[in-house]
Amino acid sequence: MGLEFNATLLAQIVDFIILLIFLKLVVYKPLCKVLGDRSDHIANSIAAAEQERQEAEQLKAGYEAEMRRAREQTQDIIQKATKAGEDQALEIIENAKNEAGRLKESALAEIEREKQRAVAELREQVASLSVLVAGKIINKSMTEDIQRSMIEDFIKEAGELQ
């Protein structure tokens, strides 16, 4: 059996080579370009996502630091308010003590004035009663000067006996 030349086979080979050249020129370069662009796009997306992740971590760290500062400021405000409240309470207590002392002194002074008035009133009544008693005992009329002199002597003696 001999090798026969088959023109169909040769035509198929030539057609296949033309198809390969056509595909290489028309399809392969654009397809490689699309695949390269896609690869670049994916790499850029990954890099952008990594950068955004880092920025998000920085923002998170900043927010956490801000939260810590806010908590510290809140604690400071609470401590200052507590201290101010305690100071004000102590001041109110001190003022109340001072006012109570002042009222006590005022009351004692009022009591002393009332005592002096009562003693003076009592002396007047004693003097009047003494004059009446002396007048009945002596059965005579006394002048006012004599009566006053006797009353004052009696009051002195009564005061010395106390």
Domain residues of the chain, as ranges? 8-161
The predicted model scores a pTM of 0.42
Residue-level pLDDT at 79: 94
Distance CA(162)–CA(154), nearest Å, equals: 13
Residue-level pLDDT at 142: 63
What is the number of H-type helices and E-type strands within the chain? Answer: 3, 0
The SS3 call for residue 63 is helix
Residue-level pLDDT at 16: 95
**pLDDT digits (tens), the chain, 162 positions:** 445 667 888 899 999 999 999 888 888 888 888 999 999 999 999 999 999 999 999 999 999 999 999 999 999 999 999 999 999 999 999 999 999 999 999 999 999 998 888 888 887 777 777 767 766 666 556 677 777 787 787 777 776 655
